[in-house]
């Protein structure tokens, strides 16, 4: 612990140091009491502020000319960043102390927002390919004007459309975009006639939203951080029990996790973390449980069976609000999904499974949290469904402090533009939602061949089976990369477009977790000729208008209006036309220190924290979303939680699933387990309308042969609190703090392979091999190794530190195995072996 004399520094220094200290505190495994003393990487009003003086006050050099309210865009904590400007330049970034959830807190990534602005590797001009093989570091590009670049793209798109090949054009968004960018791109693709305006969900977290939608009627995180403005009660902070599965909140949501820990100190709530490895989140828990990777579905089914067998469910809630309970009870009994059965599958003792089930069921309210550790399993949809059942039968849904808090990537309800004017082409035949089907389509024309792609992210790092993706993008006819830096994918591009960073744009940024948004103002002018993605697509529409011989220019310019490049005007359109958004005006958000939650029907309405709350505020909001919801608590067809209905069962059966999940897992989980077989046949996707998916057969035993050569299970995930996807790898602090790929290996596993701490190692799977550095880590299962993702071979910032350039971790992942309903790729288990380099 620091001495009192060591604490004598300014609050500004404390916040800067606190940000840098986030990783250190969690790495040391500090307990909650120590974290509350100010060592969790955030500032909390519940802790005494540090003593000392602010020596920037009165400084001609360091006293800001103005402070701009912006927002961090690196994770779902949705922190307000108060950007201090001096002579037009950023000199400091602080947090919002008036927001009781943020409580002034920031993590290390806040200062990286500035390093995205001022960065010598920034793309500042459009570039066009003039030589070199696609994918080669020797690729040659030369600058061109925006007009020329967009003209090239428009002519290519129109040539494909006029040849009857509009659906050969695709786009994939990412999480870095201003809210509503997807609506603009969707409008463009409607005008073009292609169904393939896809999002990042299958790489991130779509499955949770899909499962919640099927069960409760809406695909959204059910509860919120901070007080419910309708009831005046603390929401998630009032939970008496936190059940975390596959979520490392300390590193992925550090500021909102700090809020949960502060409230937990008051309520004495129990925190149970289920994860195959000990994370900084697990270090804060009362219990850390380490199941075999990819077996969380077995745990969820066993929790359900034990709660029902012991009559720990909420009988009154079930009788009034739940459909399919008796069918679920019979299903669990018929399949023998007991804790004893689950012990054999997961490696977690039956007694421990029973204790967790009982602890969760008896503690009211109790909250479940999940993230990519569940989403990145091939049974993600079914696992989330089973966990939603657990919340429902215990009465932990529709209550403050409870719910299914499944992180996912959907904007609530969409954002609506005015109706399209003019007759648009028919759109049909959308590609499957996963596993990033672009590569399969390009290489094998299945179900048809893509010929032109635009991305707002980096598929060369984000997609599974990276070697296959590289092969595909080499073969792709036409590719447009938009980004801040010359990332891996840029070397495959025909056109490269420079985008603005978060501090260079107005907009709305969102905490997808609890549907909360805040307004952000541009803090500094654009670097070079960079543009926002919304501006790019609207200007591309203007280029289409100039070159389209089939339609009048107004077909494009009236439907993609130039005035919408002013984000304030675009947001006003969304507010006026989108159900549940009417109260979320720019002016209202600008006045608030706290973000505003959706749904929020009008400016007199407090925003909704707890969905499905049996309270007038929820019924009013539900009706505002759709008049058909009048009087409904749950927004399903029945108005109740739907565990099982014959209609839902038949719908899911078309793709090989059932309303009541059966256990299956990845064929590369060690041992012989019920698994999955994919048909060549593509069928309509019952969860994602307008797309197709391979039909599957569930339940046949895996043969385990892969483990004769590859005896371990690999998992990919967040490198640390320092990194968010690949973009932070381009910042100075990102590479300085976490520029080495540290692979976690259990001491006994390392000893068998002759590996010591700090050794350079090679990790191999049936798909390929990558390099890393061994971190001997007792907090991981012996049969599992953890491989940080987001590293890639183009990351030039690392050269300044003498760091290696790594092949992407997703080289090891098999793209054939995925959740055929949500499209989630299975990053959380793949067969590997490890050796000293």
Q: Is the pLDDT of residue 88 over 70?
A: yes
Question: Which token pair is 608?
Answer: 């909704």
Confidence of residue 503 (pLDDT cuts 50, 70, 90): very high
% of residues, the chain, pLDDT over 70: 93
Encode pLDDT of 528-567 as tens digits. 999 999 999 999 999 999 999 999 999 999 999 999 999 9
| Burial readout 680-696 (b: 16 or more C-beta within 10 A, e: otherwise) | eebbebbbbeebbbbbb
Query: For residue 201, what pLDDT is reported?
Result: 73
Q: Which residues contact 312 (CB under 8 A, 6 or more apart)?
A: 306, 357, 358, 361, 362, 394
Model confidence, pTM? 0.93
Q: Which residues contact 423 (CB under 8 A, 6 or more apart)?
A: none
Instruction: Give the Cβ contact number of residue 562 at 10 Å.
Output: 12
Query: For residue 401, what pLDDT is reported?
Result: 97
Q: Using H for helix, E for strand and C for coil, what is the string for 436-485?
A: CCHHHHHHHCCCCCCCEEEECCCHHHHCCCHHHHHHHHHHCCEEEEEECC
Query: For residue 52, what pLDDT is reported?
Result: 64
What's the mean pLDDT in 160-184? Answer: 93
User: DSSP letters of 403-420?
Assistant: SEEE-----TT--PPPPP
What's the mean pLDDT in 245-258? Answer: 96
More confident residue, 29 or 337: 337
Reduced to 3 states (helix: H, G, I; strand: E, B; else coil), residue 497 is: strand
Q: Which residues contact 22 (CB under 8 A, 6 or more apart)?
A: 40, 41, 42, 107, 108, 254, 721
Instruction: Give the Cβ contact number of residue 50 at 10 Å.
Output: 19
Is residue 109 within 8 Å of 72, Cβ to Cβ? yes
Query: For residue 382, what pLDDT is reported?
Result: 98
Mean pLDDT value across the chain: 92
Short-list 387, 340, 383, CA closest to 360: 387
Residue with structure tokens 């409870």? 402
252: which DSSP letter? H
What's the mean pLDDT in 611-628? Answer: 96
- Within 35-162, residue ranges assigned H as helices are 109-117, 146-162
Encode pLDDT of 414-439 as tens digits. 899 999 999 999 998 899 988 789 99
729: which DSSP letter? G
Short-list 480, 488, 477, CA closest to 450: 477
Rg value, the chain, Cα: 26
What's the mean pLDDT in 325-343? Answer: 98
Is residue 493 within 8 Å of 479, Cβ to Cβ? yes
Cα 114 to Cα 94: distance, rounded to the nearest angstrom: 12
Short-list 367, 470, 411, CA closest to 200: 411
Residue with structure tokens 């991130």? 204
Q: Is the pLDDT of residue 73 over 90?
A: no
Question: Which token pair is 411?
Answer: 């904007």
Residue with structure tokens 């109740």? 640
Query: For residue 587, what pLDDT is reported?
Result: 97
Cα 78 to Cα 510: distance, rounded to the nearest angstrom: 6
Encode pLDDT of 710-739 as tens digits. 999 999 999 999 999 999 999 999 999 999
Half-sphere exposure of 245 (CA within 13 A, CB side): 31
Is residue 375 within 8 Å of 824, Cβ to Cβ? yes
Question: Which token pair is 597?
Answer: 């939650």
Find residue 369's DSSP bridge partners.
244, 405
Query: For residue 174, what pLDDT is reported?
Result: 86
Short-list 547, 469, 478, CA closest to 148: 547
Least confident of 377-386, 627-636, 661-670, 684-693: 684-693
Reduced to 3 states (helix: H, G, I; strand: E, B; else coil), residue 244 is: strand
Encode pLDDT of 362-412 as tens digits. 999 999 999 999 999 999 999 999 999 999 999 999 999 999 999 875 666
Least confident of 467-471, 598-602, 774-778: 598-602
Question: Which token pair is 149?
Answer: 């670049």
Encode pLDDT of 200-234 as tens digits. 777 788 899 999 999 999 999 999 999 999 999 99
């Amino acid at each position: 612990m620091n001495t009192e004399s060591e604490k004598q520094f300014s609050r500004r220094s404390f916040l800067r140091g606190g940000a840098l200290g986030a990783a250190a505190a969690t790495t040391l495994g500090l307990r909650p009491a120590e974290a509350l003393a100010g060592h969790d990487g955030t500032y909390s009003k519940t802790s005494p502020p540090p003593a000392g003086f602010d020596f920037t006050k009165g400084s001609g050099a360091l006293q800001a000319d103005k402070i701009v309210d912006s927002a961090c865009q690196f994770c779902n904590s949705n922190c307000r960043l108060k950007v201090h400007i001096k002579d037009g330049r950023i000199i400091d970034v602080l947090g919002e102390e008036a927001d009781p959830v943020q409580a002034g807190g920031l993590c290390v990534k806040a200062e990286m927002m500035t390093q995205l602005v001022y960065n010598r590797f920034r793309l500042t001009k459009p570039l066009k390919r003039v030589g070199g093989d696609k994918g080669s570091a020797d690729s040659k590009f030369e600058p061109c004007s925006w007009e020329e670049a967009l003209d090239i793209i428009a002519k290519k798109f129109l040539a494909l459309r006029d040849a009857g090949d509009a659906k050969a054009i695709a786009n994939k968004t990412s999480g870095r975009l201003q809210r509503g960018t997807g609506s603009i791109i969707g409008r463009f693709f409607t005008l073009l006639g292609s169904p393939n305006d896809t999002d990042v969900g299958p790489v991130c977290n779509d499955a949770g939203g899909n499962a919640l939608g099927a069960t409760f009627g809406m695909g959204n995180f059910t509860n919120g951080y901070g007080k419910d403005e309708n009831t005046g009660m603390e929401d998630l902070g009032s939970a008496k029990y936190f059940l975390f599965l596959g979520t490392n909140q300390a590193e992925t949501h550090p500021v909102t996790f700090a809020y949960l820990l502060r409230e937990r100190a008051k309520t004495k709530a129990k925190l149970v973390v289920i994860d195959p490895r000990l994370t900084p989140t697990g270090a804060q828990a009362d219990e850390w449980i380490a199941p075999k990777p990819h077996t969380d579905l077995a745990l969820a089914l066993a929790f359900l069976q034990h709660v029902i067998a012991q009559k720990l469910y909420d009988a009154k809630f079930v009788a009034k609000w739940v459909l399919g309970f008796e069918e679920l009870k019979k299903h669990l009994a018929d399949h023998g999904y007991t804790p004893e059965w689950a012990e054999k599958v997961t490696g977690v003792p039956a007694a421990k499974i029973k204790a967790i089930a009982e602890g969760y069921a008896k503690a009211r309210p109790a909250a479940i949290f999940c993230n990519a550790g569940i989403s990145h399993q091939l049974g993600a949809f079914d696992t989330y469904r089973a966990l939603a059942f657990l919340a429902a039968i215990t009465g932990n849904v529709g209550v403050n402090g409870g719910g299914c808090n499944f992180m996912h990537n959907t904007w609530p309800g969409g954002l609506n533009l005015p109706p399209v004017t003019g007759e648009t082409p028919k759109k049909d035949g959308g590609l499957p939602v996963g596993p990033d089907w672009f590569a399969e389509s390009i290489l094998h024309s299945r179900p048809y061949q893509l010929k032109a792609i635009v991305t707002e992210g980096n598929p060369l790092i984000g997609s599974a089976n990276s070697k296959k993706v590289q092969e595909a993008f080499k073969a792709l006819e036409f590719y447009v990369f938009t980004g801040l830096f010359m990332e891996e994918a840029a070397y495959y591009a025909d056109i490269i477009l420079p985008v603005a960073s978060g501090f260079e744009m107005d907009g709305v940024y969102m905490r997808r977790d609890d549907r909360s948004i805040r307004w952000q103002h541009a803090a500094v002018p654009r670097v070079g000729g960079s543009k926002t993605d919304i501006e790019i697509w609207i200007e591309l529409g203007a280029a289409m208008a100039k070159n389209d011989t089939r339609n009048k220019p107004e077909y494009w310019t009236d439907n993609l209006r130039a005035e919408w490049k002013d984000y304030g005007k675009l947001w006003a359109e969304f507010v006026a036309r989108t159900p549940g958004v009417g109260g979320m005006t720019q002016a209202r958000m600008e006045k608030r220190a706290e973000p505003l939650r959706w749904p929020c029907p009008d400016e007199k309405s407090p925003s909704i924290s707890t969905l499905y709350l049996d309270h007038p505020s929820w019924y009013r909001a539900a009706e505002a979303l759709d008049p058909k919801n009048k009087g409904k608590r749950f927004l399903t067809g029945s108005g109740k939680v739907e565990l099982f209905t014959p209609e839902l069962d038949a719908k899911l059966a078309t793709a090989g699933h059932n309303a009541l999940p059966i256990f299956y897992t990845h064929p590369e989980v060690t041992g012989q387990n019920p698994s999955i077989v994919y048909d060549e046949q593509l069928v309509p996707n019952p969860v994602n309308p307008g797309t197709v998916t391979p039909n599957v057969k569930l339940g046949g035993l895996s043969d385990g042969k892969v483990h004769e050569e590859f005896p371990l299970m690999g998992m990919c995930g967040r490198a640390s609190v320092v990194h968010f996807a690949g973009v932070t790898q381009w910042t100075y602090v990102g590479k300085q703090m976490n520029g080495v790929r540290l692979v976690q290996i259990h001491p006994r596993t390392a000893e068998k392979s002759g590996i010591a701490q700090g050794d350079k190692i090679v990790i191999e799977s049936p798909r390929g091999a990558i390099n890393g550095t061994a971190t001997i880590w007792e907090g991981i299962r012996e049969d599992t190794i953890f491989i940080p993702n987001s590293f890639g071979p183009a990351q030039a910032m690392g050269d300044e530190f003498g760091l290696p350039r790594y092949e992407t971790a997703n080289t090891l992942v098999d793209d054939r195995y995925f959740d055929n309903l949500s499209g989630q790729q299975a990053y959380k288990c793949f067969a590997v072996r490890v050796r000293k380099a």
